[in-house]
Amino acid sequence: MVAGPRDHDAPAHPRREVDVFAPRPPEGLGAIVAALRVARDETNIRHTGRIHEIPTRASIARMLEGARTVLFPSHFGGTELDEETLDFFVGSTLHGVLARLHEDARRSLSFASDPKSVGEPEIARRAQRFVDDVAGSLPTLRRLAVGDLEAVRSVDATGAGLSELLVCDPGVRALLAHRFAHVLHAAGIPLLARLASEVAREETGIAISPTARLGPRIAILGPVSIGPGVVIAEGTVLGPGAR
């Protein structure tokens, strides 16, 4: 006689329990949507009263990350790079950064422009001029960023090297983001500059207005190295070597 399965044997395919708490649309969803439309109409805060495409914080964050990678590819570009592939990687990454920047510039200019007087072709031309100006400033931006790194290392109590400060120190990251945001402001699109500075503040806890003018070899020191708290306000001017 063939023995059957023992009573304590587990079944091969346990029965799935039905989730009685699966989400469902609320009752009266259409009425809620209609009420929200009424509320929007009563409290319209749209710029010039119309719907706009505007840059998103997520897009700005990716752009900042791409710019940082272009400026310091061997630190932020991955582990498979070498001297033979570095320039190709920088060119490919820069192409993507500038394409994103062009789209965000187009959206920003469209947001700030009167569609009756400035058409899409002119906005696209202005966005391209803006991108060209920003791209041309990147070599100078790299030199300024390295100067800031050297300034921090000269007074850093931990004895960290330049590479460690670049990838770890929030003050260094905040300064690098500010250098880029200041370029965006100087090139003529303050909305993008402000968004970039806000994204950097959320990441580092350090608020630097994109209008602030920082000389070379700046170091943010003290408690900010381990937490938030520093604010460099609109219109601030810091001379070379400021701490």
CATH of the domain at 204: 1.10.3130.10
With respect to residue 127, please indicate whether it lies within any of the assigned structural domains. Answer: yes
Residue 197 has pLDDT above 90, yes or no: yes
Residue 25 has pLDDT above 80, yes or no: no
Residue 27 has pLDDT above 90, yes or no: no
pLDDT computed for residue 191 by the predictor? 94
With respect to residue 23, please indicate whether it lies within any of the assigned structural domains. Answer: no
pLDDT computed for residue 23 by the predictor? 74
With respect to residue 209, please indicate whether it lies within any of the assigned structural domains. Answer: yes
With respect to residue 66, please indicate whether it lies within any of the assigned structural domains. Answer: no
Residue 117 has pLDDT above 90, yes or no: no
Residue of 195, 165, 197 lying closest to 178 (CA atoms): 197
Could you give the number of structural domains in the chain?
A: 1
Strands 207-208 and 213-214: unpaired
Residue 39 has pLDDT above 50, yes or no: yes
**What CA–CA distance (Å, rounded) separates 113 from 123?**
8
DSSP state of 133: H
Residues 173-192: what's their mean pLDDT? 96
With respect to residue 166, please indicate whether it lies within any of the assigned structural domains. Answer: yes
With respect to residue 103, please indicate whether it lies within any of the assigned structural domains. Answer: yes
Residue range of the domain that includes 145: 75-238
pLDDT computed for residue 138 by the predictor? 97
The half-sphere exposure of 111 on its side-chain side, counting CA atoms within 13 A, is 17
pLDDT category of residue 224 using cuts at 50, 70 and 90:
very low
pLDDT category of residue 87 using cuts at 50, 70 and 90:
very high
With respect to residue 191, please indicate whether it lies within any of the assigned structural domains. Answer: yes
Range in 26-30, 31-35, 170-174 with the lowest mean pLDDT? 26-30
Residues 79-87: what's their mean pLDDT? 88
Residue of 61, 96, 99, 91 lying closest to 73 (CA atoms): 91
With respect to residue 156, please indicate whether it lies within any of the assigned structural domains. Answer: yes
**What CA–CA distance (Å, rounded) separates 210 from 192?**
10
